[in-house]
Amino acid sequence: MAFTGQRGLRRFAAIPAVASLVLAAACSSGEPTAGPGVTSTPCPGSANSDRGCIYLGVLSDLENGPFTPLGASMNDGQAAFWKQVNAAGGIGGYDIDISTYTRNTSYDPRTHRSRYQEIEPHVLALSMSFGTAQTVAMLNQMDVDDMVSTAATQWSGWNYRSADRNLVLSAGYSYCTEAVTGLDWFAETHYAPRNIAVVAYRGNYGGDYASGALKWAVANDATIADRIDTGPNAEVGSQDGPVAEILAAAPDLVMLATGPAETAEIVGKLVKSGFTGRFLGSLPTWNAALLQSAAAPALTALYNYTTPVDSWAGDSVGAKHARDAITGEPANFGYSLGWAITYPLKALLTTAAANGELTRAGLRRSIGAMKPDGEGMVVIHPAGAAGPDLETEWSAVFEPDKAAPMGARAVSVGYQGKTLGRLNLHEPCTRL
């Protein structure tokens, strides 16, 4: 048995003397050691009796939250990913289980914390921690616990070791660089925006995206006409305030870093009020269900969104593997995103297992040595590096299309603009 991290040391110190002697005897008997969440017993329901089990936790918006459709579909993508890993032989003599300790958080920070505390003693790492603010708020505790997690968000801090403490694995661009590259694509494809309004959730998600828009505007002689903070309708009631502010500012482009419901309301009400500009959104703004809303015609005509991942119908090796892993079409694009962000954790577990370090501290030590491969589906920045490799980043751009898989068609995959290389970014665009 192995105890890792400060919490582990505290627990060890609290064991009565007699129990400590028993524990010492067991550890000196030559039995293999493993961290929390690693057992010699097979995973529940596994047909592989010759393999042990690695338990990973999932904390996500799976029900009754503003991002439930995205969070649930991302979870489906991760479940399919690990099922394929298990079918191919598992990792280091173990299958991977993410279902036993999957918990719904409804995107609520308090629920996120309580669910973390509930599953923490039982898992080796987190396969998903959904929500930037939620994960940031847990970093101190994760640091104590040596708990590595996959980021289910694109906050720029996850790409800088000074911000994520070598605990959070990420893939793809940040919300900040998403806005920059998205604006480059927009200027090349539609028109050069001169007067931009940004509507964004309060916090790291919206703040990061808005920061990227501002950096692009400064570099390209454009103006941010208005920066409007908002929240999910469950918190703020409606988007009438942002709509009124945008109409008063009269921008030629509205950028969105909200949830799907807020996107539909803002776009629909603005177009109904006579707004004639276009809309550009971050990935979390879209869900195919919006094509059933009253805003569908306006969205189809005037809205694009960007993602860091090859499309469901893409030609990359990763996209093909993701398609082969399930029968039929997933609920939404979150499936592909959930699949893609899991590559770094697979690489980390593989490296740690090869080094005989399947403990939490062992995972943390192995981050700099792992070599993840996104199979062309997503860019993975150098693991454990001080910052991202911005030259490798690219975006995929989509437009709503009822005839396309999941209601959206890729109009550009692998797009790289010119502004990002001129910004000289050396730290997160927003701070904790």
Say what the pLDDT of residue 298 is. Answer: 98
**Can you list the pairs that 266-274 forms with residues at least 24 positions away whose Cβ atoms lie under 8 Å?**
266/199, 266/239, 266/242, 267/295, 267/298, 267/299, 267/302, 267/303, 268/293, 268/294, 268/295, 268/298, 269/239, 269/240, 269/243, 270/243, 270/246, 270/298, 271/295, 271/298, 271/302, 272/298, 273/243, 273/247
Say what the pLDDT of residue 203 is. Answer: 87
Q: What is the mean pLDDT of each run of 10 residues along the chain (432 residues)?
A: 37 36 34 75 95 98 93 96 97 97 96 98 97 93 97 91 90 96 98 98 93 97 96 95 97 97 98 97 94 97 97 94 94 93 97 95 93 94 82 96 92 96 92 71
Say what the pLDDT of residue 432 is. Answer: 62
Dihedral sign from CA coordinates of 86, 91, 95, 96 = negative
Say what the pLDDT of residue 34 is. Answer: 63
Say what the pLDDT of residue 383 is. Answer: 76
User: In this structure, how many other beta carbons lie within 10 angstroms of the beta carbon of residue 21?
Assistant: 11
